[in-house]
Structure 1
Amino acid sequence: MTTRYLLGLDVGGSSIKYQLAMITDDDRPVVVKQDTLATPASDPVAAFADIARDIAGDDLAGVVIAIPGLVDSDTGTVLRSVNLPHLDGVHLGARLGDILEVPVDIVNDGRAAAIAEARWGAGDGHSDVFTLALGTGIAGCHVVNGSVAAGAHGIAGELGHIVVEPDGELCACGQRGCLETVIGAPALRRGWHAAGGEGSPRDLLIAYENGDARALPIVDRAGRSLGDALLTLLALVDPGCVVIGGGLASAPHRLVQLAVAHVDKKKTFHTVPPIVAAELGRWAGAVGCVGIAVDRMARTVTA
């Protein structure tokens, strides 16, 4: 029997994380390779084709590529990507599929990571999972029975733009006091530097762990604000599990712990589900891509 491979590419501004999975006789994927490589700076279609051939050879059965930005998954088109502007307007799925002669799907990177965490990561065992990534921005995604519930207009899950401080800082979205203006990495960095601290938000969190008086009010405020946003989420969505990841949620998970404590203190009618840290880390996007490829293959076989 011919060996078949599925390739997942999680494309970032400077690097690509990939997983290559071999499909066994019972159609189960087995990861045989994962690694990182540099993101091509030009001629992305030809470059991605070369990457796929170099990794998988001639036995490729399908590719899923995760892109940071807005994508039309139905047509495989990159609508807009701030980090990869040379992909804007490129019909990447169709063009790459024609070259490789295999199905190529294009997905948003946050959604790929959310699907991975919901199905194979910290949300495993729950049919209704809301994932939240804390970083430069605050990305949310609701996964129900393994599929993203994107809303009528494809923008559901934007918890970063829940207003937590009505008279707060102006957000890039035009509102004031969005969660991102309090707990996003740039906001934490500004607050830390204004207090006399140095370095990154991670340095702020380390200082908090060490009892630095300058860090305490900044991190406590961030934890309370995240907790208030989570209470809104519980009231509106009622998820079965909340998974929180991203660089600002990594060990020692202090922001997550503070937020959960705030939720427990302020809850009234709310049913508080497990609120847990993500497990897949930097590989979540690539894992999600392979999972989406497996699902597509299964649908094709049964159609």
Structure 2
Amino acid sequence: MKKHLWGVDLGGTKIEGIILVRDSGETLIRKRIPTEADQGYRHILSQINKLIDLLIEETGIHPEAIGFSTPGTLDPGSQTMKNCNTTCMNGQTMKKDLEELLNVRVELANDANCFALAEATMGIVPEKYPDAKVVFGVIMGTGVGGGVVVNGKLITGKHGIAGEWGHNILEDDGVDCYCGKQGCNENIFSGKALEKYYTKISGEKRSLKEVVQRYREGTDPHATATMKRLFHSFGRAIHYIINVLDPDVVVLGGGVSNIDEVYDEGVKEIENYIFNNRKVETVFLKPKLGDSAGVFGAVELVR
């Protein structure tokens, strides 16, 4: 049995590696280096190799397997990367390339899946609801994504896109999305989408933090309209997940999840759509692990 567990969170700007002691869960070492993604796919691989070498050099421990949280998905059929916002990774045989480069078994999952897995197994769910069997992890930040965990195991699906609710269509005549569709969840209630909506109706450019503050002060009708759009669209979008999966717990991550009213006004909106006589018993929780969820989720891939 492996004594140590290795995980890497591959982000657009930084790559973080971690080694845990398997039995105790103690963090032996964590280290970050820049991704430098603008220099291309092969340079990203070299940066990953550099990070692994640094971890080996500082600990004397060699990995037997490494889990990776990635900004995209490994297609189960073609074994190439897709849906990566670090676009130079799309179409690349990343799992194969990493296994050849590092000479170890590699497991990949996208960042939303790793967030869900970490919070379901090591984060807020075992702390608050240890008997939860089905967990849906939500990312609502610059983009919108999600992941499904059942009995502590990640569900990825036939196409590797299980939980990817960010590109479900909510408005048929909505804003054009980079994915080729219109009116995706991501283009309605991500942080960037809400800021754009506020600018559209007010003619002024403000950060989401400012919009939320003005909404709470009750002095800006455009801020109120923007927040009502968030609550309504979130409730309508998440009810589809609840109707299909009926999770015990939904964990919300990303910047938008820090808006306390989402847990009240947003969840209340679900009553208008849920197939359960307007009764919502799903538990909605804030995450525990913060920006560490990616790297801890990566570790769980090889446990």
The TM-score with structure 2 as length reference comes to 0.82
Deviation at 1:218, TM superposition (A): 0.7
Deviation at 1:88, TM superposition (A): 3.9
CA distance in 2, matches of 1:172, 1:204: 25
Give the unaligned 5+ runs of structure 1: 295-303
Matches within 5 A, 1:266-281: 267=274, 268-269=276-277, 271-281=280-290
Deviations 1:173-210 (A, max 9, x none): 44443322321223211122231443322332232233
Deviations 1:204-242 (A, max 9, x none): 223223333220111111111101112222222211111
* 2:200 is aligned with 1:191: no
CA distance in 2, matches of 1:127, 1:46: 39
Match of 1:12 in 2: 11
Instruction: Note closer, same or farther for the CA distance 1:205–1:173 as it changes in structure 2 (3 Å cut).
Output: same
Contact 2:112 2:138 in 1 (8 A): no
SS in structure 1 of the partner of residue 266 of structure 2? helix
Match of 2:86 in 1: 83
Instruction: Note closer, same or farther for the CA distance 1:169–1:151 as it changes in structure 2 (3 Å cut).
Output: same
SS in structure 2 of the partner of residue 293 of structure 1? coil
Match of 1:70 in 2: 73
Instruction: Note closer, same or farther for the CA distance 1:54–1:77 as it changes in structure 2 (3 Å cut).
Output: farther
* 2:101 is aligned with 1:104: no
5-14 or 220-229, larger mean C-alpha shift: 5-14
SS in structure 1 of the partner of residue 297 of structure 2? helix
Instruction: Note closer, same or farther for the CA distance 1:89–1:173 as it changes in structure 2 (3 Å cut).
Output: closer
Match of 1:50 in 2: 50
Residue in structure 2 matching 1:156, options 155, 162, 166: 162
SS in structure 2 of the partner of residue 17 of structure 1? strand
Give the unaligned 5+ runs of structure 2: none
Deviation at 1:15, TM superposition (A): 1.0
Deviation at 1:97, TM superposition (A): 3.3
Instruction: Note closer, same or farther for the CA distance 1:22–1:39 as it changes in structure 2 (3 Å cut).
Output: same
198-207 or 74-83, larger mean C-alpha shift: 74-83
CA distance in 1, matches of 2:290, 2:34: 19
Contact 1:67 1:107 in 2 (8 A): yes
CA distance in 1, matches of 2:83, 2:247: 30
Deviation at 1:108, TM superposition (A): 1.7
Deviation at 1:276, TM superposition (A): 1.5
Deviation at 1:52, TM superposition (A): 0.6
136-145 or 162-171, larger mean C-alpha shift: 162-171
The TM-score with structure 1 as length reference comes to 0.82
Instruction: Say how many residue pairs are matched.
Output: 287
Report the identity percentage. 27
Whichever residue aligns with residue 211 of structure 1, its letter is G
Match of 2:230 in 1: 222
Matches within 5 A, 1:31-46: 31-40=27-36, 41=39, 42-46=42-46
Residue in structure 2 matching 1:141, options 134, 142, 147: 147
CA distance in 2, matches of 1:219, 1:8: 37
Contact 1:169 1:177 in 2 (8 A): yes
Tell me how large the CA RMSD over aligned residues is.
2.7
Contact 1:65 1:289 in 2 (8 A): yes
